[in-house]
């Protein structure tokens, strides 16, 4: 796997047994994870993460052709880190599309090679389970072959509660309508103390995990996320990843893990300074090491930026999401550098090749469509 002798010779005694386990492809514990996260130099984490990435996925870097449809930014929840949502009392700054308007958005892509529509937005009190079932049916009628990846666990918890159905019942209805998978949003940080500060009124960690487990049991894969770079500590990061790792052991239903960086523009936590690129690299590299049963690690380029995304391809990342085509506002409203997030297939291929990786166009569940 690695030039093991050289690496081990350079380590202090505290990290040596942990790194030996990683080199031997043995699972490290939460306690070992916290120590590694806090004490390991970036060079060591990067070497380990890149070796794991190349062992699993070689030189390949994945992307897909996708668009986002965001039904509304009106939301009943009040997450302190969110720059995107608006309460009903602030409707002048909000949007809420009708089903027909959302179908029209998709119609603009007629004849274009998109394979996925990503359907996520605020939790609107009048957009419930049956509303979205109708939307998905119309999307599939228009584009039968497109994969519908829809609704965070936060949205699903609310719509199932309002419809008075179990998670399994609600997800079964959505699957029958044509939904293929779940995104990973809404996980934030699972630790209850942190969660109570940053997003007290939304679904709990236990509910998030239960919804994804129910989806996996129905044959609906999903993604997993973490929101980092705010008030959390290394122990919270490792605890969060451990809970995801445990569920993956149980279901093997997660496609990819996606760290999401807190951006401090225009929200209630704007006084918190954003972490720097070195912190980004540490988080991603550590994730690739610790999340040993996840096949893929994704850098979501509209959030982290194109240049950092390229750098992360040497620190464990093997997926950079998709073409987006300026169809998401979640991060542009939080002040990210790229206010118009769009890349053509040519752009993405060039970005990946510029750092010596092989671009692989994939579908939502990582079947290869084309090598570029």
Token representation of residue 246: 């445990």
Q: Give the span between the Cα atoms of 124 and 162, in whole angstroms.
A: 11
The model's confidence at residue 124, banded by pLDDT at 50, 70 and 90, is confident
Q: Is the pLDDT of residue 336 over 50?
A: no
- Tell me: do 343 and 245 sit in the same domain: yes
CATH number, domain with residue 78 = 3.20.20.70
For residue 51, tell me if it sits in a domain.
Answer: no
Quick one: 184 and 326 in the same domain? yes
pLDDT of residue 87: 61
d(CA 284, CA 106): 33
22 and 158 part of one domain: no
The predicted pLDDT at position 325 comes to: 59
Indicate if the pLDDT at residue 6 is higher than 90: no
Is pLDDT of 337 > 60?
no
Burial grade of 97 (CB within 10 A; 0-12, 13-18, 19 or more): middle
How many beta carbons lie within 10 A of that of residue 141, not counting itself?
10
DSSP state of 341: -
Burial 174-207 (b: 16+ CB within 10 A, else e): bbebbbbbbbbbbbbbbbeebbebbbeebbbbeb
Q: List the one residue out of 188, 175, 174, 251 whose CA is nearest residue 224.
A: 188
In this structure, is residue 45 part of a structural domain? Answer: no
- Residue 27 lies inside a defined structural domain of this protein: yes
Tell me, what DSSP letter sits at residue 108?
A: T
- Let me know whether 68 and 152 are in one domain: yes
Distance of alpha carbon 47 from alpha carbon 97, whole angstroms? 46
* Residue 279 is assigned to a structural domain of this protein: yes
- Do 282 and 139 reside in the same domain of the chain? yes
Residue 90's pLDDT is what? 57
Encode pLDDT of 318-328 as tens digits. Answer: 999 888 654 44
Q: In the prediction, which pLDDT does 83 show?
A: 72
Q: Please tell me the least confidently modeled range out of 24-33, 73-82, 288-297.
A: 73-82
Are the C-beta atoms of residues 256 and 289 closer than 8 Å to each other?
A: no
- Joined together, the tokens standing for residue 69 give 């449809």
Residue 221 lies in a domain: yes
> Which domain does 11 fall in, by range?
4-40
> In this predicted model, which residue has the larger pLDDT, 2 or 217?
217
24 plus 173 within the same structural domain: no
Residue 47 lies in a domain: no
Q: Are residues 140 and 29 in the same domain?
A: no
Q: Tell me the pLDDT tens digit for each residue of 353-363.
A: 999 999 999 99
Give start and end residues of each alpha helix (H) in the chain. 4-9, 16-23, 30-39, 42-57, 99-107, 129-142, 153-163, 167-177, 192-198, 205-217, 234-251, 277-290, 301-304, 306-312, 345-353
- Give yes or no: residues 79 and 221 share one domain: yes
pLDDT at res. 30: 98
- Residue 363 covered by a domain: yes
Mean pLDDT over the full length of the chain = 90
pLDDT for the residue 324: 66
360 and 318 assigned to the same domain:
yes
- Give pLDDT, residue 7: 72
Burial of 275 (0-12, 13-18, 19+ CB in 10 A): middle
Distance CA(86)–CA(263), nearest Å, equals 17
pLDDT, tens digit, 9 for 90 and up, residues 64-81? 998 889 998 888 888 787
For the chain, what is the domain count? 2
Do residues 124 and 187 share a domain? yes
Same domain, 241 and 306: yes
Give the rounded percent of residues in the chain with a pLDDT score beyond 90.
73
- In contact, 83 and 335? CB cutoff 8 Å: yes
Rounded mean pLDDT of 203-213?
97
- Do residues 71 and 124 touch, judged by C-beta distance below 8 A? yes
Query: Burial level of 267, CB count in 10 A (0-12/13-18/19+)?
Result: buried
pLDDT of residue 357: 98
Using a cut of 0.75, tell me whether the model's pTM lies above it.
Answer: yes
> What is the average pLDDT across 196-207?
94
> Where residue 32 falls among pLDDT bands split at 50, 70, 90?
very high
Q: Are residues 122 and 202 in the same domain?
A: yes
Q: How far is Cα 216 from Cα 239, in angstroms, rounded to an integer?
A: 21
Q: Is residue 49 part of a domain?
A: no
Q: Is the pLDDT confidence value at 339 over 80? A: no
Listing DSSP states for 155-166 in one string gives: HHHHHHHHHT--
């Amino acid at each position: 796997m690695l030039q093991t002798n050289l690496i081990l010779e350079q380590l202090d005694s505290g990290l040596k047994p942990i790194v030996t386990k990683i080199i031997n492809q043995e699972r490290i514990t939460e306690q070992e994870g916290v120590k590694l996260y806090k004490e390991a130099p970036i060079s060591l984490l990067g070497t380990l993460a890149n070796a794991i990435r190349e062992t699993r996925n070689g030189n390949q870097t994945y992307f897909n052709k996708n668009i986002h449809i965001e039904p509304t930014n009106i939301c009943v929840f009040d997450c302190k880190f969110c720059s995107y949502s608006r309460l009903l009392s602030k409707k002048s700054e909000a949007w809420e599309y009708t089903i027909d308007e959302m179908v029209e958005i998709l119609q603009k892509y007629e004849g274009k090679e998109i394979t996925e529509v990503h359907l996520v937005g605020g939790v609107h009190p009048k957009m419930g389970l049956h509303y979205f079932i109708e939307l998905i049916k119309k999307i599939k009628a228009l584009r039968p072959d497109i994969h519908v990846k829809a609704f965070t666990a936060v949205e699903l918890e609310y719509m199932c509660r309002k419809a008075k159905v179990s998670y399994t019942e609600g997800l079964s209805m959505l699957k029958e309508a044509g939904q293929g998978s779940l995104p990973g949003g809404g996980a934030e940080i699972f630790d209850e103390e942190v969660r109570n500060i940053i997003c007290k009124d939304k679904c709990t960690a236990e509910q998030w995990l239960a919804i994804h487990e129910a989806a996996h049991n129905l044959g609906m894969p999903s993604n997993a996320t973490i929101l980092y770079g705010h008030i959390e500590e290394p122990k919270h990061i490792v605890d969060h990843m451990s809970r995801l790792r445990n569920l993956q052991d149980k279901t093997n239903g997660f496609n990819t893990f996606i760290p999401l960086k807190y951006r401090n523009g225009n929200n209630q936590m704007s006084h918190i300074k954003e972490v720097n690129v070195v912190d980004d690299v540490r988080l991603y590299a550590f994730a690739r090491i610790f999340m040993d049963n996840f096949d893929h690690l994704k850098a979501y380029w509209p959030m982290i930026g194109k240049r950092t995304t390229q750098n992360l391809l040497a620190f464990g990342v093997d997926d950079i999401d998709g073409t987006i085509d300026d169809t998401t506002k979640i991060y542009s409203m939080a002040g990210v550098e790229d206010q118009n997030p769009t890349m053509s297939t040519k752009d993405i291929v060039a970005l990946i090749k510029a750092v010596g990786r092989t671009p692989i166009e994939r579908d939502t569940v990582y079947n290869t469509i084309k090598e570029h």
